[in-house]
């Protein structure tokens, strides 16, 4: 694959600032915030501390290994800011019909989403002392900015089960215990929600396995993937159909249950 290169501000930054905190587990803090989240599932402010308490302990080493590779440097220079690339739908729509770019734009416009919107949402929960002006931060931003692209590529929707599957898939790509913990905790809540028995845990486990097969999306040339035909991009990444996720949706719909309304508040009888 040919990659265009351009001067990126990230290239002028230090690889990793020495003031970055060590990645350590804090299980009591994670459990405390998780219990708060269970009490109020709409309180998404509880999610960020869980990720801070159950991090990907090897993230710094993975980032540095990629950033110091020739491939990593080329991608860093050609894609200085994924948000600008992903939110420029006018440019993306100029790519061939049927490309990943078109499928991505369709998804984001249908769902009323934007890459910048996710940044703004997460920034409301991010403490000021978590900002570091180094190249590792560029790598971490890509992990954030590829979230909705993962939905599109994997086929997991924004329904409750789809979100848990994306968490499990992401764990295999970026093994923060928080991804796995929240993914399976969410699956427990889904399994308790309805009497229709569907393969919820198999779907989440399958997503975790699929994430192992796919190369880390954060380390892939996103511009080139967007220009590919959708199915070609999925094949290139080793993506296969999420069989149990599709089966769960079919079983819910057959029982008259909308998978996208699964976690709506239960109405109390008068």
The reply to whether 6 falls in a domain is no
| Cα–Cα distance for residue pair 31/131, rounded to 1 Å | 25
Same domain, 176 and 250: yes
Residue 229 pairs in a beta bridge with: 99
The reply to whether 93 falls in a domain is yes
Of the two residues 167 and 121, the one the predictor is more confident about is 167
Number of Cβ within 10 Å of residue 38's Cβ equals: 12
CA distances from 112 to 41, 105, 118, 131, 266 (A): 22, 10, 11, 28, 26
> In percent, how much of the chain has pLDDT > 90?
79
Same domain, 37 and 100: no
Interval 98-105 mean pLDDT: 98
Q: What is the pLDDT of residue 230?
A: 98
Same domain, 45 and 82: no
The reply to whether 9 falls in a domain is no
Same domain, 41 and 71: no
Interval 209-237 mean pLDDT: 97
SS3 label, residue 111:
helix
Same domain, 71 and 140: yes
The reply to whether 153 falls in a domain is yes
The reply to whether 245 falls in a domain is yes
> Do you know the residue count of the chain?
270
Of the two residues 156 and 45, the one the predictor is more confident about is 156
Q: What is the pLDDT of residue 43?
A: 78
Interval 41-57 mean pLDDT: 88
Q: What is the pLDDT of residue 5?
A: 36
Among residues 33, 55, 77, the one where a domain terminates is 55
Q: What is the pLDDT of residue 179?
A: 97
Same domain, 27 and 114: no
Q: For residue range 25-39, what is the model confidence (pLDDT) as tens digits?
A: 999 999 999 999 888
Q: For residue range 137-155, what is the model confidence (pLDDT) as tens digits?
A: 999 999 999 999 999 999 9
For the chain, how big is the Rg over CA atoms in Å?
19
Same domain, 78 and 207: yes
Structural domains in the chain (count): 2
> In percent, how much of the chain has pLDDT > 70?
92
Q: Angle of helix 160-173 relative to helix 147-154, nearest 10 degrees?
A: 110
Range of the domain at 218: 56-254
Same domain, 123 and 40: no
Instruction: Tell me which residue of 100, 140, 102 sits closest to 119, measured CA to CA.
Output: 140
State the pTM of this model.
0.89
The reply to whether 8 falls in a domain is no
Residue 184 tokens read as: 């399976």
| Cα–Cα distance for residue pair 256/261, rounded to 1 Å | 11
Report the half-sphere exposure of 265 (CA within 13 A, side-chain side).
6
Taking each continuous run of H as one helix and of E as one strand, the counts in the chain are 16, 0
Same domain, 97 and 164: yes
Q: What is the pLDDT of residue 7?
A: 38
Same domain, 213 and 139: yes
Q: For residue range 218-231, what is the model confidence (pLDDT) as tens digits?
A: 999 999 999 999 99
| Cα–Cα distance for residue pair 262/267, rounded to 1 Å | 13
Same domain, 42 and 91: no
Same domain, 45 and 176: no
Residue 113 tokens read as: 């989403």
The reply to whether 215 falls in a domain is yes
């Amino acid at each position: 694959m040919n990659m265009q290169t351009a001067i990126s501000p990230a290239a002028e930054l230090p690889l990793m600032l020495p003031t970055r905190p060590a990645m350590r587990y804090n299980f009591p803090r994670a459990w405390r915030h998780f219990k708060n989240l269970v009490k109020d599932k709409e309180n998404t402010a509880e999610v960020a501390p869980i990720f801070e308490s159950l991090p990907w302990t090897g993230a710094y080493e993975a980032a540095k290994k990629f950033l110091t590779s020739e491939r990593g440097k080329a991608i860093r220079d050609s894609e200085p800011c994924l948000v600008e690339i992903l939110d420029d739908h006018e440019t993306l729509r100029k790519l061939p019909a049927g490309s990943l770019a078109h499928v991505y734009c369709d998804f984001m416009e249908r769902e009323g989403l934007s890459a910048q919107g996710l940044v703004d949402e997460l920034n409301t929960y991010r403490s000021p002392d978590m900002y570091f002006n180094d190249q590792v931060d560029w790598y971490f931003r890509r992990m954030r900015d590829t979230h909705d692209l993962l939905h599109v590529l994997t086929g997991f929707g924004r329904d409750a089960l789809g979100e848990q599957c994306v968490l499990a898939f992401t764990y295999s790509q970026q093994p923060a215990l928080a991804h796995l913990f929240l993914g399976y905790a969410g699956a427990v809540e889904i399994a308790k929600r309805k009497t229709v028995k569907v393969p919820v845990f198999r779907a989440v486990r399958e997503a975790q396995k699929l994430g192992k097969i796919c190369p880390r999306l954060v380390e892939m040339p996103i511009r080139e993937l967007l220009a590919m035909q959708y199915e070609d991009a999925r094949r290139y990444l080793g993506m296969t159909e999420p069989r149990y996720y599709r089966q769960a949706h079919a079983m819910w719909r057959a029982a008259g249950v909308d998978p996208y309304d699964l976690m709506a508040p239960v109405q109390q009888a008068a």
